[in-house]
A and B are shown apart, each in its own frame.
Chain A
């Protein structure tokens, strides 16, 4: 990996951390702020591709585990990886990798439609598959009940998909997208 690759990994890990410090989006009508860290997952995959995107999230999670309060609400430390909802965290690098892989594969045709489909598949399906599987396997909550409990978060996730997709496609259009630059 080049020095530039390492720097890009560090920067996207840092963006994910900053997204936990500030709410980027507010749910329309309800005014509920959406803590936007899965937006970092989608951006890392959509902008850096599979390997670098996945690694950016690995770096982010390791820093959380080492004791930096980088998760939304200033949480962090080893304890969050032992909790009932830890499966969502573990799914982040996988989701970023999956988004990155699909983005690379479809690069020549990559437009808003592709971006939205890819971010829904990686940023929602993969994340919920990991999070809900953990809840039911490790914590013994029946799968359908866990799914029902996470429905309120879907509108926020849809907004994040729209935002990440729009950023990635805009950057491609103006030749600022890292996957479109040959360095």
Chain B
């Protein structure tokens, strides 16, 4: 199971620090809201799109993410063309397309651990308000670790219920998976505390 959208590479966009990329994305997000001129937005979109060849990204994973996003945008443009006006539709579609394309570039060229480091840095000041950044990091790490484990549980319970002829019954799947997962929580919490991780 591939749990990241990151596409390895060595382009300038890959080497740019994750924090700087995130800041750029925010800046683009604000910039597209500041202009009402479709020609400015079209230039902005064209500039963002040059990032894709510049990052030398493989076509298939890019399309896999981009096609559903832009299909919704096309539908949305069609809705505007019918219900309001083509001009509003064009303006809004260009705005969304720019920010969506920039977000896609960020995700495809940045590792999850790079993003996580930015998040932890950002959460640091929250310690003043009684938040414990170590706890927050632990929850994220646990979730990432649990996803393949729960996917395994899911498939083994499904196989067991299919063998009993209960393959078409969603409750015969959901209830055992949920109970196993909740029981697992107690054992994991005990294991964490037994290792002296003091939170």
Contacts and interface: CB of A to CB of B under 8 A. Distances in A.
B67 to A, nearest CB: 10
A171 interface: yes
B90 to A, nearest CB: 12
Interface residues of B, number: 71
Given A6-B138, A6-B142, A11-B185, A79 B151 contact: no
A177 B10 CA distance: 49
A14 interface: yes
Interface residue SS majority, chain A:
helix
A7 B189 contact: yes
B115 interface: yes
Among A8, A69, A79, find the residue whose CB has the most chain B CB atoms closer than 10 A.
A79
B96 A18 contact: no
A141 B151 CA distance: 37
Contacts of A9: 139
A66 B116 contact: yes
A167 B171 contact: yes
A77 to B, nearest CB: 3
B72 A85 contact: yes
Contacts of B178: 15, 43, 47, 167, 171
Contacts of A84: 72-73, 76, 96
A33 B138 CA distance: 34
Contacts, number: 185
B115 A67 contact: yes
Contacts of B88: 140
A3 B106 contact: no
Interface in B116-157: 116, 119, 135, 138-140, 142-144, 146-147, 149-151, 154
Contacts of B174: 24, 163, 167
Interface stretch (B35-43, B50-58, B78-86): B78-86
B103 to A, nearest CB: 3
A69 B5 contact: yes
A60 B146 CA distance: 12
Contact of A67 (B92, B112, B185): B112
A11 B64 contact: no
A83 interface: yes
B49 interface: no
Contacts of A76: 5, 65, 107
Nearest to B73: A84
A176 B182 contact: yes
A163 B178 CA distance: 12
Given A3-B199, A139-B92, A79 B69 contact: yes
B150 A79 contact: no
A100 B107 CA distance: 32
A79 B147 contact: no
A17 B147 contact: yes
Contacts of B149: 14
Contact of B80 (A82, A140, A163): A140
Given A21-B1, A68-B3, A79-B69, 4 more contacts: A3-B199, A4-B189, A11-B185, A75-B69
